[in-house]
Amino acid sequence: MVGPEYERHHGISSLSPAIAEELFRFELSDKETRSQALSPDMAKLKKASVVIDNSLSPVHTLLQIVCVDHKGLFYDVLRTLKDCNIKIAYGRFSLNSKGYRDLDLFIQQNDGKKIVDPDKQDGLCSRLRMEMLHPLRVIISNRGPDTELLVANPVELSGKGRPRVFYDVTQALKSLGICIFSAEIGRYSSSEREWEVYRFLLDENCKFKFSSIGARNQIVDRVRRLLMGW
């Protein structure tokens, strides 16, 4: 939930509280009326398995991940571990097998110790599942009389944003025959994390009726799929 502590940076126009809540919520809604709802294919993301095992090494914790492959998967996993102050001593990644990947990572805390605290283990596993299920936020909303596409991704603690987002979004819109009237990129922060937000005002002169829920869902689905490499 986005509260009053929510702020904006770099001069980009502000987001309404309702849009901010929809864009930055931690859980995805399964209601079909919400533009963030998962399509049947993307629902496979929910099947991600994240398991911690401390029995195989005296000095490392084994992190085992089985999940749907997507563009930026390694980036999302490594970014999350870095943000959680986790070091990787050794890693093994399987080839893509029927759309899935296996990752085995031997990890340590920054102090060189294994992760033995059950709360820390649960927190890390939950965070990884969340980042793999929902690495990018894509919605369409009204901005006055205009229609706006918004794409958001978490900013690393180092201050870096996700690569290629602008390119992939513009390619997706181009493939749909949608022109961009204007675009802006900015950063917003809450008490929990900072976000990089891409905002695209869409040109109404195209084959899509932006007032249609079906058309909006089609645009969101195409943009998200290109961002995910599907």
8 A C-beta contact, residue 128 and residue 80: yes
Give the chain's mean pLDDT.
82
Residues 53 and 114 in one domain: yes
Residues 126 and 147 in one domain: no
Which tens digits make up the pLDDT trace of 173-209?
A: 999 888 899 999 988 886 578 889 999 998 877 777 7
Residues 97 and 14 in one domain: no
Which tens digits make up the pLDDT trace of 43-62?
A: 666 678 899 999 989 999 99
How many domains does the chain divide into? 2
Which tens digits make up the pLDDT trace of 152-165?
A: 988 888 888 888 89
Could you write out the DSSP letters of every residue in the chain?
---TT-EEETTPPPPPHHHHHHHH-SS----TTSTTPPPTTGGGGGG-EEEEE-SS-SS-EEEEEEEE--TTHHHHHHHHHHHTTEEEEEEEEPPPBTTEEEEEEEEEETTS-----HHHHHHHHHHHHHHHH-SSEEEEEEETTEEEEEEEEEPPTTS---TTHHHHHHHHHHHTTPPEEEEEEEEEE-SS-EEEEEEEEEPS-SS--TT-HHHHHHHHHHHHHHHHT-
Domain membership of residue 180 as a residue range? 7-26+135-228
Which residues, other chains included, contact 91 with Cβ-Cβ below 8 Å and sequence gap of 6+? 103, 104, 105, 106
Which residues, other chains included, contact 165 with Cβ-Cβ below 8 Å and sequence gap of 6+? 136, 151, 153, 196, 198, 227
Residues 57 and 80 in one domain: yes
- pLDDT band of residue 32 (cuts 50, 70, 90) is very low
Q: Which of 71, 138, 74 is nearest to 102 (CA)?
A: 74
In a domain, 31, yes or no: no
Q: What pLDDT does residue 35 have?
A: 45
Q: Evaluate if residue 8 carries a pLDDT over 50.
A: no
Q: How many CB atoms lie within 10 A of CB 76?
A: 21
* CATH assignment at residue 94: 3.30.70.260
Q: Evaluate if residue 171 carries a pLDDT over 80.
A: yes
Residues 140 and 224 in one domain: yes
- pLDDT band of residue 11 (cuts 50, 70, 90) is very low
Residues 46 and 105 in one domain: yes
Residues 107 and 150 in one domain: no
Residues 91 and 118 in one domain: yes
In a domain, 1, yes or no: no
In a domain, 32, yes or no: no
Q: How far is CA 139 from CA 95, 115, 128, 212, in A?
A: 32, 37, 22, 14
Torsion angle (degrees, nearest 10) of CA 222, 228, 229, 230: -60
* CATH assignment at residue 17: 3.30.70
Q: Evaluate if residue 111 carries a pLDDT over 70.
A: yes
Tell me the average pLDDT across 7-22: 66
